[in-house]
Chain A
Amino acid sequence: MISFSIHPIYQILLSTCLLFMVPSALHAETVEEKGLAIAVEADNRDDGYGDYTADMTMTLRNRHGKESKRSIRSKTLEVNGDGDKNLSIFDTPRDVKGTAFLSFSHKVGDDEQWLYLPALKRVKRINSRNKSGSFMGSEFAYEDIASQEVEKYTYKHLREEDYNGQLCFVGESYPVDKKNSGYIKRITWLDKAEYRIQRVEYYDRKASLLKTLTISGYQHYVDKYWRADSMEMVNHQTGKSTSLVWSNYAFQTGLTDNDFNSTSLKRIR
């Protein structure tokens, strides 16, 4: 059985990491320091959201335009001082209805992941180091959809440029877990006004451009937190693509740790 965790991609680069904040006015900032500072600022701007739920439709498309859809409900809990907890529940296709994926991400060390298989009433642990594997047959790998803490990458600021009418920071990031990541680097476009991810290019281990992610339709929630309606991942090497369309975002719904344990996993509907 394949497993799946959907974590909105805009959280790439987001995490709390105040210790590394550099008083930039006082010395010449290196490109690495600037890249990190941008990642930390983006993370800080999403701090304090508490929890949220959302619905998602994933559409897989092959190079001939044939489509296949999956619908997923997602619940996310912010954890102070560590990575988020996420629960994703599949509603369709109907043969996997009720299958659920639970993930605890950590700033340092391996994430913890479990899969609940409703037909067998069984909770299986998943090895989170299989991060380069495809998520549910989609063009998103596990490492693309997992909650991405600042500490999981190192950074380098490249330049500022206009992208789709917005002035953006363009920077490279490199996975800390080089052994298991499917990428040698990513290039990210982050708008300077609100620190939201607009575009990501993924380069495979042979340094060839593998995929491009485009994020659009950002909306403002609870006057503070930006969430995107649409994410499109195109694989340049196979011609296949996957789009994620998000709806029904709800913030501060009262989720607690009790909604993210093995007991609650078994009573998922």
Chain B
Amino acid sequence: MIKFLFAFLALNLLPYTTVYAAEIRGDLSLQGFLFVSNPAWQNQGDQSASVAANVEFFHDFHNNLSLTIEGFYRIDSQDNERSHGDLRMAEFLYYTDNFEITAGLGHVFWGATEFVHLVDIINQTDQVEALDGEQKLGQPMVHLTVPKEWGVMEAFALPWFRERTFPGANGRFRTPIPVNTNQTQYESSSKEHHFDFAFRYSTNLATADVGIYYFNGTARDPVLRLAFDEIFKTPSLFPYYEQIGQTGLDIQLMAGEWLLKGEAYYRTGQSRSYAATTFGFEYTFTAIADTMMDMGLIGEYVYDDRNNGWLPTIYENDIMAGVRLAVNDMADSTVLLGAIRDLDSGSTILAIEASRRLGDSIRLNLDASFFVDMDYEDPAFAMAKDDFIKLEMVYYW
């Protein structure tokens, strides 16, 4: 359905852009992965290349009504599951001075911290796109926003659930046994048609932004369950999506020269209720060493009160540190160095993200991650051999 709609968008809307006086733009990107080590699991490759396109169409009907459509498609040389498309957005927006309402496939972000996005729950993660989980699938919703002097009230009706994407057998960054999304199971008998809903209140105080929400519906993060083929007894993993209630909180706070950030949630519905939190700081040195360069230091911590082995997350009791350099040159060059260390097992992930513009409309991105001292009991151990260097060139039109 999604792929069909995307194809429809690409083929049919393009010729009409001038007629509708609408705005259309997008980007085209080439991406290559080079893996440092031989793969840990069968069928995985040593390198991969892919090409991806984003197309965004916007039309303003005037009278405060508009339509936004964003389509995405990637073709990957290695992993069939990573060759995929999605309608990131297909949304009508109407607003007045008193309220705003959207209907369609939308995209909503909640959160405050830099490393781990714990409380962000409306949109499903497009896991095959990026390890950081920041790429999201379009979520069908009706979203009402009422801004008041004392804060913003929001209500979400979410009639259709999107499954998380997982790498296929040929892809890296996967579990030892690939996740089979054809065997997905749900706790709810209505499966992906379960009606989810959420309410959120957020407000801007003098030095702080605070948000609190309640979500009820299908967990976006599935439990991975093991199944065996009846005849051949071959094992497979399948996602199991449970019904949850989740109360979440996010805060961004300016304290002198410091920026403090925190997120927390309390979740019911999965075997036992539990809580998770992440918080930290960002401190920026401007114009360092008589240059135009800014250097931001980031320190964060994440804790999840689930026991080891039950509903595993790679962020159980981890500390994160980062240095962000903004060169402030014409090319808007930036470099981010980051490290995540599991305090219990000592497993450590080191990451570099560097980016600069070439000319007016091309951006060059270099990412690398190294998995160091991975403990075999750590859920991230499956990626211990996935050290990579990724080079990406994006052309914006």
| Number of A-B pairs, beta carbon distance below 8 Å | 112
Does A182 sit within 8 A of B, measured CB to CB? yes
Q: Does A45 contact B (CB under 8 A)?
A: no
Asked if A93 and B360 make an inter-chain contact with CB atoms under 8 angstroms apart, the answer reads: yes
**A97: contacting residue among B109, B282, B396, CB under 8 A:** B396
A209 near B: Cβ within 8 Å?
no
Report yes or no: B206 in contact with A112, Cβ–Cβ below 8 A: yes
Q: Flag if A129 contacts B292 (CB, 8 Å).
A: no
Judge whether A110 and B100 touch: CB under 8 Å.
Answer: no
- Chain B residues lying within 8 Å of A180, measured Cβ to Cβ, are 257
> Smallest Cβ distance from B129 to chain A, in angstroms?
12
Q: B396 to A134, Cβ gap below 8 A?
A: no
> B147 on the interface (CB 8 Å rule)?
yes
* Distance A96 CA – B326 CA, assembled complex (angstroms): 15
B330 A267 Cβ-Cβ under 8 A: no
Could you tell me if A60 and B330 are in contact, using CB atoms closer than 8 angstroms?
yes
Residue A236 at the chain B interface, CB threshold 8 Å = no
Known: A2-B326, A133-B286. A97 touches B25 (CB 8 A): yes
| Set of chain B residues within 8 Å of A261, measured between Cβ atoms | 147, 152, 204
Among the stretches A118-126, A187-195, A211-219, A243-251, the one at the interface with B is A118-126
Give Cα A97–Cα B360 distance, bound, in whole angstroms: 12
Chain A CB within 8 A of B397 CB:
yes
Q: How many residues of A contact B (CB 8 A)?
A: 43
When distances are taken between beta carbons in the complex, the residues of chain B under 8 Å from A96 are 332
Which of A17-37 touch B at CB < 8 Å? none
Which of the residues A2, A60, A93, A262 comes within 8 Å of B202, measured between beta carbons?
A: A262
* A60: chain B residues within 8 A (beta carbon): 330
C-alpha spacing A125/B282, complex, angstroms: 11
A121 x B109 contact (CB < 8 A)? yes
Having A112-B207, A134-B286, A261-B204, one finds 4 other A-B pairs with CB under 8 Å, namely A94-B396, A133-B284, A134-B328, A269-B60
* B contact residues vs A (CB 8 Å cutoff): 23, 25, 58, 60, 66, 93, 95, 97, 100, 107-109, 111, 134, 145, 147, 152, 202, 204, 206-207, 209, 252, 254, 256-259, 282, 284, 286-287, 292, 294, 326-332, 334, 357, 360-361, 363, 394, 396-397
Task: Report the 8 A-B pairs with minimum CB-CB distance, sorted nearest first.
Answer: A133-B286, A94-B396, A68-B330, A134-B328, A125-B252, A137-B328, A263-B147, A121-B109
Can you name 15 A-B residue pairings with CB atoms under 8 Å? A2-B294, A68-B330, A68-B331, A92-B360, A94-B361, A94-B396, A94-B397, A121-B107, A129-B256, A130-B284, A130-B294, A132-B287, A133-B287, A133-B328, A180-B257
